[in-house]
Amino acid sequence: MSQALLKIKNLKTSFRIKDDYYAAVDDVSLTVNKNEVLAIVGESGCGKSALAFSIMGLHNRAKIEGNILFKGKDLANASPTEWSKIRGKEMGMIFQDPLTALNPLMIIGDQIGEAIYLHNKNISKEQRKLKVIDLLEKVGIPHPERVYDQFPHELSGGMRQRVVIATAIANQPELLIADEPTTALDVTIQSQILDLMKQLKEDMDAGIIMITHDLGVVAEMADRVAVMYAGQIVEIADVYTLFENPQHPYTRSLLNSVPNNKEASSKLHVIQGIVPSLQFLPRKGCRFSARIPWIDVSAHEENPQLHEIEPGHFVRCSCYKHFHFPEEEVQ
């Protein structure tokens, strides 16, 4: 039906901490198609941003291994010049915190205009301004002519996020990465931004990677979902399957920690513990095993792999077959 826009194969992104490299993204493979929204969910610190930054080439001191095939071209070790031609033109990114994502000393118009200028130096200043005002209108900013000349501090958080979005879509990118675009906003603004994202999804002919830890956002936006834990994808499936038939213990725990969910029939489940920090991440065995201690060690694989349990539905480690919540144990 659709062709792969982005194909990541065995991506490993490592940071150097005191002479050693530690992988924050470990053996991640995924594809994003045109006109598709892939959601990436997982707790804080599981490597979602590190993955997104690798795709955009935004890490400056990380070791990148594996392949990032974008429209058939491998970007894993592209040069800075190659990157600056792709970034902002073919790929756009929306960041988490709109309050800090804009240059405080530059007017809004110039910040969006810069994205246009960088990839099309032939457009006259007047035309560029018209384009920027168009974009401001498109992302739902009232009085775009006035906002054009304003500084970021004169706008609210929601308005600033709209400006960030306008910057990201200025050159109609084919791939849009949104790294928790609503996390820093309050609830009413969140839903407005989500509505805008949904509308853009309809209008734009782009593949979208939506990073979030909000399952509500996933349900509303995503076509497919990848669940990440400790740098790895533990489960990937289309959104319907994932909500109806979650398999991996981590996915089930996540879904079960949300009220009004099918599996949460009586009690909400709280996932014990936290994502271990990079240096202390277990590198052997099932990385989630420490957080489900009531499951017997023999249930885990020694070297957990992704298994395709039904077409398009992958689960890591065989422990999913033996998983149950602790409160179910009594039965």
- Residues lying near other proteins in the complex (CB under 8 A) are found at 56, 58, 80-81, 83-89, 92-93, 95, 97, 100-106, 111, 114-115, 118-119, 151, 153, 164, 167-168, 170
CA-to-CA distance for 9 and 74, rounded, in angstroms? Answer: 10
**Of 9, 29, 31, 45, the one binding ligand ATP by CB under 6 A:** 45
CA-to-CA distance for 313 and 303, rounded, in angstroms? Answer: 19
Nearest residue (CB) to other proteins, 154 versus 308? 154
Minimal distance, residue 156 CB to other proteins, in Å: 15
**Of 278, 299, 306, 309, the one binding ligand ATP by CB under 6 A:** 278
Minimal distance, residue 224 CB to Mg ion, in Å: 20
Rg (CA), the chain: 21
List, in order, residues 6 or more apart from 242 with CB less than 8 Å away: 225, 227, 235, 251
In 3D, which of 4, 10, 13, 25 has the Cα closest to residue 70?
Answer: 4
Q: Which does 142 bind (CB under 5 to 8 A by kind): ligand ATP, other proteins, Mg ion, none?
A: none
Q: Tally Cβ neighbours within 10 Å of residue 11.
A: 22
Minimal distance, residue 324 CB to ligand ATP, in Å: 27
Q: Which does 47 bind (CB under 5 to 8 A by kind): other proteins, ligand ATP, Mg ion, none?
A: ligand ATP
Q: Which does 119 bind (CB under 5 to 8 A by kind): ligand ATP, other proteins, Mg ion, none?
A: other proteins
Name the strand (E) or helix (H) holding 110: helix 108-119
User: Should residue 209 be labelled a site residue for ligand ATP when binding is judged by CB under 6 A?
Assistant: no
Query: CA distances (Å), 179 to each of 50, 54, 56, 168, in order?
Result: 10, 12, 12, 12
Q: Which does 81 bind (CB under 5 to 8 A by kind): Mg ion, ligand ATP, other proteins, none?
A: other proteins
Instruction: Say whether 145 sits in a helix, a strand or coil.
Output: helix
Of 41-100, binders to Mg ion (CB under 5 A) are: 49
